[in-house]
Structure 1
Amino acid sequence: MKKTTTVGLGVLLLAFVVAFSGTFYTLEEGKQAVIVQFGRPVGEPVTSAGLHIKIPMIQEVRLFETRLLAWDGDPNQIPTKGREFIWIDTTARWRIADAKTFLENVATEAGARSRLDDIIDSVVRDQVSRSELVDLVRSASWATPQGQNLSDVPAEVQELLKQKVTRGREEITRNILSEASKIMPQYGIELVDVRIKRLDYVESVRERVYSRMISERKRIAAQFRSEGEGESAQILGTMEKELSQIRSSAYRKVQEIRGKADAEAARIYGDAYNGDPEFYAFSRTLEAYKEGQNENSVMILTTDSDYYRYLKNSGGAAKARSTR
């Protein structure tokens, strides 16, 4: 009997502990709770952090975030108003504004993201298809370059730069946020912000754009090379002209100095030879003897020739001196 009583008390104590532990729950900062009874939410969401009470064994707690949550959509291929096909990638920030409605309609964050995919992608597609490409890539404050800034830009690029922005990316993203936010309250969601994260041409268009960019860069490079070669030719021409002038001036000075030197030498020679004409004739004859030697030629002269006059005289003078 005593043993049965002890077991009964133990069971009651265990039941009390289980019931007591299931009565209280703690709500952390950044969280909100919805009490679910038999699968249905009861009461208002609990948003204050701290210790709270629920009915054990009957009620359970579903916790949800109160902080901002991120949503990143998949890139979509969408045509613009001008029929340019582009890839557009959007991102958004949202929060659970009404946890009870959220639980009843989407249940989990994964379910909410699925709804966001459908709603935001649909609104983005609608807004992009009604907008020009220039409005998607530029802000409303875009100012068209003027004057010198356009002087080196090709004509077709100038036309693109001068296109007028009617809406701008900021207005488009505001419209996306406004249209998508109208649908969110029925899911207990507040859409805080929507942004275009990335925008690009589709692959086929991108290849053509890249080819055009490459061609344009090659044209500009060829223009720069041509201008550089022209400048180089001009510099080389100027250098050759100046060098020719320097050479001509130097040659003229050389010829003047050489002419003066030759004149001075001739004057000195003239003065020397005029002092003794016979010695001059003798010296020139000796030079003629020296220069007249040629192994490949034969010269026949008589002994009466003036060519040997000094040789004959020198022989006669020597004989006279020996006779004496």
Structure 2
Amino acid sequence: MRKLIIPVVVIFIALLLMSMFVVKEGERGIVVRFGRILKDNNTEVARIYEPGLHFKVPVFDRVHDLDARIQTMDDQADRFLTAEKKDVIIDTYVKWRIKDYGKYYLATGGGNTSTAESLLKRKVVDSLRAEIGAKEIKQIVSGEDSTSAPAAPSDIAQTKAAKAALAVIEDVVPVKKVEGQRDQIMADVLEETRESAKDLGIEVVDFRIKKINLPDEISESIYRRMRAERESVARSYRSQGRQRAEELRARSELEVATVLADAKRKAQVVRGDADAKAAEIYAKAYNQDPEFYSFWRSLKAYENSFSSKNDILVVDPNNEFFKYMNHSELPAK
């Protein structure tokens, strides 16, 4: 009898251990019996086991732990076609968590996270493709109007290529001003994905566009167009600068010519007045003593004529010019 007690105790302990299971914090457990999920009494909702110690039927029940935390699906960027038939590469991320564990388990082939994210990504991409296909690049890249509240840090980070594309579209091709609809696109995709993900037992918490870029094969052409446009603007500025310089130069030359002409006119007036004054003085002097005046003028003429030793003057000695040199006596007063 004693020999039978020990095996019975061992079997009992083994069965007890096999019937116990622990659900970790941040997870939820469901029990599958004969391939079917155990449900709560009188309901069609799967029985969910909260974190802690629980019991099951040994051998027949299998426990599946499912992550109850918010998870992030951050896959590689995809290519989309805009309303202008232009390719853009958009990188996104999705925040999601399990809401209906039973439905999630069945829809994902046993609670496989990779399968769940693959199915969810397909829904997100389809919804985003429909939104992008109805919008222009400027609407996709731009957020709300500048008068609105600043965007959250998690919003889109516009890359250089996206800004370059927007600049080319604005500067090269005249387009009407439209309000940015990036935030509205994210809100619409979030709403549509949240609704369509219910059949997976998933709740989509958030959807964001991280980055918008252009394909590598056209980024260089965009940069070239942008560079050519900037060079054209620079040439226009240089041309305007040269035109302005010519205008200023012509205006300055006109002002200089006006000032010089006015100065010359005033100088001639002053010179004329001086000449008239000198003539008046000469006339008075001549009237006082004509002979002495003639003598003094002759001396000034001699001084001016023989101021340099190299001067040669060929004149008849009996010429009237030398009358005071031939007769040294002074004229009588």
Question: Common fold, TM-score beyond 0.5?
Answer: yes
Q: Which moved more, 1:235-244 or 1:304-313?
A: 304-313
2:312 aligns to what? 297
CA RMSD across the alignment: 4.5
SS at match of 1:114: helix
Distance change >3 Å, CA 244–CA 81, structure 1 → 2: closer
CA distance in 2: counterparts of 1:82 and 1:312, whole angstroms:
111
Of 201-210 and 94-103, more deviation after overlay is shown by 201-210
Q: TM-score of the superposition, structure 2-length normalised?
A: 0.65
What residue is the counterpart of 2:241 in the other structure?
228
CA distance in 2, matches of 1:316, 1:172: 119
1:186-231 per-residue CA deviation (whole Å, 9 max, x = no partner) reads: 4332223434443343334444444433333333333333333333
The AA in structure 1 aligned to 2:120 is L
Structure 1 stretches of 5 or more lacking a match? 143-152, 318-324
Deviations 1:107-163 (A, max 9, x none): 3434422332344334444x2585353696278999xxxxxxxxxx989633x3268
Identity score, percent: 27
Superimposed CA distance per residue, residues 78-114 of structure 1 (whole angstroms, 9 cap, x where no aligned partner): 3345533332333222111123443453534344223
The structure whose Rg is larger is: 1
Per-residue deviation, 1:316: 11
Q: Does 1:133 align with 2:136?
A: yes
Q: Spell out, residue by residue over 1:7-56, the C-alpha distance to the aligned partner (whole angstroms, 9 max, x if none).
A: x8xxx89x97996899474653x543335679986451124x6x433359
**1:215 maps to which residue?**
228
2:119 to 99, 106, 115: 115
2:55 equivalent in structure 1: 54
Which residue of structure 2 aligns with residue 71 of structure 1? 73
- How far residue 235 of structure 1 moved from its aligned partner, in angstroms, is 2.8
2:214 aligned residue: 201
Between the aligned partners of 2:190 and 2:79, the Cα distance in structure 1 is 20
Residue 281 (structure 1) shift: 2.0
CA distance in 1, matches of 2:24, 2:170: 64
Letter paired with 2:53:
H
In 2, the alpha carbon distance for the partners of 1:169 and 1:308 equals: 109
Distance 1:27 1:154, change over 3 A: closer
After TM superposition, the structure 1 = structure 2 runs for residues 214-293 of structure 1, keeping only pairs within 5 Å, are 214-293=227-306
Say whether 1:314 aligns with 2:328. yes
- Specify whether residues 24 and 138 from structure 1 end up closer, same or farther in structure 2 by C-alpha distance, changes over 3 A only: closer
**Cα drift, residue 305 of structure 1:** 4.9
- Superposed CA offset, 1:280-319 (max 9, x none): 22222223333343646363645x55444434543699xx
Aligned mates of 2:211, 2:170 — CA distance in 1? 27
Pairwise CA distance, 1:263: 2.0
Tell me the equivalent position of 1:146: none
In the comparison of the two structures, how many residue pairs are matched? 289
